[in-house]
Amino acid sequence: MKTAVSTTKSTSWSLVFSDFKEITKARLAVSVVFSSLAGYLLAPTSFSLFSLLLLAFGGYCMVGASNAFNQIIERDLDALMNRTKNRPIPSGRMSVNKALSIAILLTILGVVSLYYLNAKTAMFGAISIFLYTSVYTPLKTKTPLAVFVGAFPGAIPFMLGWVAATNEFGIEPGTLFMIQFFWQFPHFWALGWMLDEDYKKGGFKMLPTGKKDAGTALQIIMYTIWMIVISVIPAFGITGDLALSIPAAGIIFLMGLTMLFFAFRLYEKRDNPSARKLMLASVIYITLMQIVYVIDKFI
């Protein structure tokens, strides 16, 4: 009997943990935290493990809060789409009030944690939540420009780490911001291409032309080129304390060309498999690019 009760409790906690990961989009949140930590390590300041952990915790809270608010707002639309209908709220596993409590608690914890680092970091974190939930989310059903608006909060994490370490905003964190800003367009439009039919069920307008056509593919190519250019600019010595060696810039440039190759393939074929390859290439690019930047600083 005790074993059965224990198993039931274990299953119950497992479901709670699973729903928490889903409502905060844990995998996305972890990738965002990774970007923040990379930005922190690139800053020309002494390393602090406590600050790094605080940034990771605060960053996860802020992203988790944004995602929770987003799922509360879009709960009726999520129920219409195959990829989101089993989320905690539309599936009925979590009430709106419980989700709202989680979102508010994470917001408070996130702002307080980041404020402990410095006020600028908390401010940018709060701006990120506001833009994501109050501007980007409502625009998704109204105009493809929502992706442009969403790129602003999405680009904040990489620069947030630098600001957390230095308490300053200048050309260095601005450059980190622009790298991730331009990266988001090929990444999200490739994702939007793959999920276009499902997005349309919820009324979301994610592709720049509204269609899986040459115009969308061409814009993906253009933004990918801008991403490559911005990613190697620190090698020219014009971005203050943010530097990049020629060999590291060469590696990043080649990675960017690989992503550009998949963008051209999408333009040529205009099918979902090509969009999926580009999306995966973009995930690999942003991760490896940040790793190369950090390794290059320390060797």
Q: What is the pLDDT of residue 270?
A: 94
The tens digit of pLDDT for each residue in 31-82 reads: 999 999 999 999 988 888 999 999 999 999 999 999 999 999 999 998 989 8
Q: What is the pLDDT of residue 9?
A: 56
Give the predicted TM-score (pTM) of the model.
0.91
The tens digit of pLDDT for each residue in 216-244 reads: 999 999 999 999 999 999 999 999 999 99
Is the model's pLDDT at 7 over the cut of 70? no
Lowest mean pLDDT among 1-5, 52-56, 181-185: 1-5
Q: What is the pLDDT of residue 154?
A: 92
Q: Could you tell me the pLDDT band of residue 171, with boundaries at 50, 70 and 90?
A: very high
> What's the chain's average pLDDT?
92
> Sign (positive/negative) of CA torsion 57, 63, 66, 72?
negative
Q: Could you tell me the pLDDT band of residue 202, with boundaries at 50, 70 and 90?
A: confident
Is the model's pLDDT at 12 over the cut of 80? no
Q: What is the pLDDT of residue 13?
A: 76
In terms of Cα–Cα distance, which of 64, 188, 42, 47 is closest to 125?
Answer: 64
Q: What is the pLDDT of residue 136?
A: 93
Is the model's pLDDT at 147 over the cut of 60? yes
224 by Cβ neighbours in 10 Å (0-12 / 13-18 / 19+) ranks as buried
Alpha helices in the chain (DSSP H): 2-23, 26-42, 49-73, 75-78, 96-117, 119-130, 137-139, 146-166, 171-194, 196-201, 214-232, 246-269, 272-298
Mean pLDDT of 245-270: 97
Q: What is the pLDDT of residue 299?
A: 87
Mean pLDDT of 209-215: 92
> Is 233 in contact with 239 (CB distance < 8 Å)?
yes
The tens digit of pLDDT for each residue in 97-116 reads: 999 999 999 999 999 999 99
The rounded distance, in Å, linking the Cα atoms of 38 and 156 is: 12
In terms of Cα–Cα distance, which of 116, 240, 120 is closest to 168?
Answer: 120
Domain 13-169 has CATH 3.40.50.720: no
Q: What is the pLDDT of residue 1?
A: 52
The rounded distance, in Å, linking the Cα atoms of 41 and 52 is: 9
Is the model's pLDDT at 289 over the cut of 60? yes
Q: Could you tell me the pLDDT band of residue 265, with boundaries at 50, 70 and 90?
A: very high
